[in-house]
Amino acid sequence: MSETQSPQTEQEKVGIGAYISLIFACIFFSGVLAGSNWWSVFDFTTLNGSLGKVVTAVSQTADGVTTALGSFRGKGGSGAMDGFVFAVTLIPTVMFALAMVTVLEHYGALKAARKMLTPVLRPLLGLPGSCGLALITSLQSTDGGAALTRQLKDAGELDEAETNIFCQFQYSADATITNFLSSGAVIFTLTLADGTPAVPTSIGVCLGLILVMKIVIANVMRLLMIRSHKKAA
């Protein structure tokens, strides 16, 4: 019995380097270092960058020729061709996310995440701790979170039910922090005629409510998965 268990025990041993790698991964994918400072070079979104602008329209005016710039995807597209161009714009993000996770996995980040986060994620969402990096990434980047989830599924870290639960967690308000702080936070600056805030709460409360509801909806899917397995049995 001891000979059978010893390889598993050795496999689960995690060194200090793995924990350092996990801490770096959490900081790198969380977006806390985003900005215009020098330390933003350790931020996923900053290093991922953005596509340049292309000319979308040219017009003749009294002052000469003027051009309008737009995104690489352009404007006015539709159907499969527009969807194909949109998919092309996702390739760099997905490749970069997978490359970074592969490097971090080499240094033991996923083993450390599995050991540290499983006691938290298993009762909270029914997920293994190895989902920790993908979960953190999904709060900042939809593409990165999806790519890491697919990698976990292909590596056998997630079964079918766990994949459904995790996808449901991401699908409800994906890239929560990025989208909420970039677009939703502006409503907290609005005021009424008497000068009082138009939204009688704080950004933290609203963001916390979104995260709580993501957990709730993931557990709804978890219950559905349990029920379907009981019916199948």
Give the whole-angstrom CA distance, residue 105 versus residue 132.
Answer: 13
Q: How far is CA 43 from CA 35, 56, 77, 152, in A?
A: 9, 31, 32, 22
Do the domain assignments include residue 65? no
pLDDT at 138 over 70: yes
Q: Which structural domain range is residue 127 located in? A: 17-48+90-232
What does the pLDDT read at residue 105? 82
**Residue that wins the pLDDT comparison between 229 and 55:** 229
Supply the DSSP symbol for 73: T
Q: What is the rounded average pLDDT of the residues 188-195?
A: 71
Percentage of the chain exceeding pLDDT 90: 15
Q: What is the rounded average pLDDT of the residues 50-64?
A: 76
Q: What is the rounded average pLDDT of the residues 56-74?
A: 75
pLDDT at 9 over 60: no
68-120 per-position pLDDT tens digit: 777 777 777 788 888 888 888 878 888 888 888 888 888 888 888 888 888 99
Q: What is the rounded average pLDDT of the residues 126-155?
A: 87
Do the domain assignments include residue 188? yes
pLDDT at 215 over 90: yes
Do the domain assignments include residue 32? yes
Task: State the alpha helices, DSSP H only, in 62-189.
Answer: 79-106, 109-125, 132-138, 142-154, 160-171, 176-183
**Residue that wins the pLDDT comparison between 122 and 207:** 122
What does the pLDDT read at residue 163? 93
Q: What is the rounded average pLDDT of the residues 168-192?
A: 76
**Which of 103, 101, 179 shows the shortest CA–CA distance to 144?**
101
Do the domain assignments include residue 54? no
What does the pLDDT read at residue 67? 77
- Amino acid making up residue 38: W
What total of structural domains would you count in the chain? 1
Do the domain assignments include residue 56? no
What does the pLDDT read at residue 199? 77
Cβ count near 161 (within 10 Å): 16
pLDDT at 194 over 80: no
Do the domain assignments include residue 55? no
Its pTM stands at 0.69
Give the whole-angstrom CA distance, residue 145 versus residue 97.
Answer: 8
Q: What is the rounded average pLDDT of the residues 31-57?
A: 80
What does the pLDDT read at residue 2? 40
**Which of 139, 143, 117, 144 shows the shortest CA–CA distance to 130?**
117
Do the domain assignments include residue 62? no
Q: How do 54-61 and 64-70 pair as beta strands?
A: antiparallel
The chain-wide mean pLDDT, for the chain, equals: 81
pLDDT at 218 over 90: yes
Is residue 39 within 8 Å of residue 51, measured between CB atoms?
Answer: no
**Which of 200, 173, 176 shows the shortest CA–CA distance to 188?**
200
Q: Is the dihedral of CA 34, 203, 25, 139 positive or negative?
A: negative
Give the whole-angstrom CA distance, residue 106 versus residue 109.
Answer: 8
Beta bridge partners of 65: 60
Please tell me the total number of residues recorded for the chain in this structure. 233
* Of 138-142, 165-169, 181-185, highest mean pLDDT: 165-169
Q: What is the rounded average pLDDT of the residues 136-160?
A: 87
Supply the DSSP symbol for 42: G
pLDDT at 219 over 90: yes
Structure tokens at 209: 């409510």
Do the domain assignments include residue 143? yes
**Three-state secondary-structure class, residue 31:** coil
